[in-house]
Amino acid sequence: MSDFDYDLFVIGAGSGGVRASRVAASHGARVAVAEEYRVGGTCVIRGCVPKKLLVYGAHFAEDIHDARKFGWDVPECRFDWNVLRDNVLAEVDRLEGLYGQTLDNHHVTVFKTRATIVGPQKVRLADGTELTAERILIATGGWPHVPEFPGSEHAITSNEVFHLETLPKRIMIAGGGYIANEFAGIFNEFGSQVTIVNRGDTILRGYDEQIRDRLLQISMTKGIHFKFNVPFRSIEKNDDGTLTVHLENCDPFIVDAVLMATGRVPNTKGIGLEEVGVELDDQGAIKVDETNQSSVPSIYAVGDVTNRIQLTPVAIREGQAFADSVFGGKPTVVDYQNVPSAVFSHPPIGAVGMTEAEARNKLGTVRIYTSDFRAMKNVLAGRNERALYKMVVNAATDQVVGLHMIGPDAPEILQAAAIAVKAGLTKADFDATVALHPSMAEELVLLK
């Protein structure tokens, strides 16, 4: 018998932690996991899952309007935020139960409390109980970053936005990344007056320039306001519950809510990492090698807490690789090349591989193919919104090294197309594939 209480102790029951826990247990390890909030982590409880449900709800605003052009006699409709909010939160509760059931089915011990590290192989629960483990895995994810300025405590983050008591008539969203643009689209479709405020001059940094410019153009057409190169000075809470926002070089704004979507930072504070010698980078992320091992041999980390690629499927891959490598006898290293991503804006974006700028810098000579079109549904509905598909090709090898799309269902189409990019297929391979007509996806094999 081992001298330790557990073979593996996991801190954090999010996507990466749950996958690592159940896979390690399936390999025969004695596993425990501590979660101080709710099993499921950011993605399930207060991230991509409830947000995607809000995205679905927001789409009905345009779908109901467009339905009239397709012959449906649709009466005037009223949106009820409370109904959607409560239904989304009920679905989150259901999923949390399923995640807990998965851990229970794999005989993983769950401590619903905070745990900190007090030694290379020892953790302490909030009630003072100390437990030992041969290996410790940190999977505590990320946390919303809120800049410090007078009145910043009056703002909310993506943690609280799903619990709003009422739908804000006017909402200001700080940031230019995917969270800011997704919630801007959501609240705009719900009828809120939306203003995005960005310290910089670019939205969706890291995405292809043509694609992000198209989203900016469409968002402005839909009525979303943008303020660039504008830092916050202060927020004041008024007697009627509204907020007065003071920005640099702008007149004051009066809004009902301010949502800070200014990035996420690794959730490593107060866990005891530095006290036991775990090295962190300048952003507080745990430094790990390709096997997810930290500077302390018995301590590992996966997911957003390592700040490699902050995506749920990546955390799941890392958790699986860790468990298979350490407990399954199957050494596995995660491949971070050509990881697809999506922005569930209105319309959504899908991307994989190099942007045009990245390809030109790295490869030198590239060929660019684009298709700029109106989706058939939009044509009949009288909606002028245009989709844009872009393919980046290595001119020397004909290999497709990047795909970037904005338009209806772009993420659904991109997922399958990402397989082709990952496999290293060429433009000729796309050209040789017969189109599926009529569809938006056929544009990928018709690019000229």
Going 344 to 346 to 348 to 349, the CA torsion angle's sign is negative
Q: What is the CA radius of gyration of the chain?
A: 24
Whether residue 289 contacts residue 249, with contact meaning beta carbons closer than 8 Å, is answered with no
Residue from 168, 185, 175, 176 nearest 254 by CA: 168
Cβ–Cβ < 8 Å for 11, 276: no
Residue 373 one-letter amino acid: F
Asked if residues 213 and 355 have their Cβ atoms less than 8 Å apart, the reply is no
Catalytic residue check, 404 = no
Please tell me the total number of residues recorded for the chain in this structure. 448
Are 15 and 43 in contact, with CB atoms under 8 Å apart? yes
- From the candidates 27, 65, 106, 437, which is the catalytic residue? 437
Cα(334)–Cα(13) distance, integer angstroms? 20
Q: Which structure tokens are listed for 211?
A: 């694609």
Active-site residue set: 437
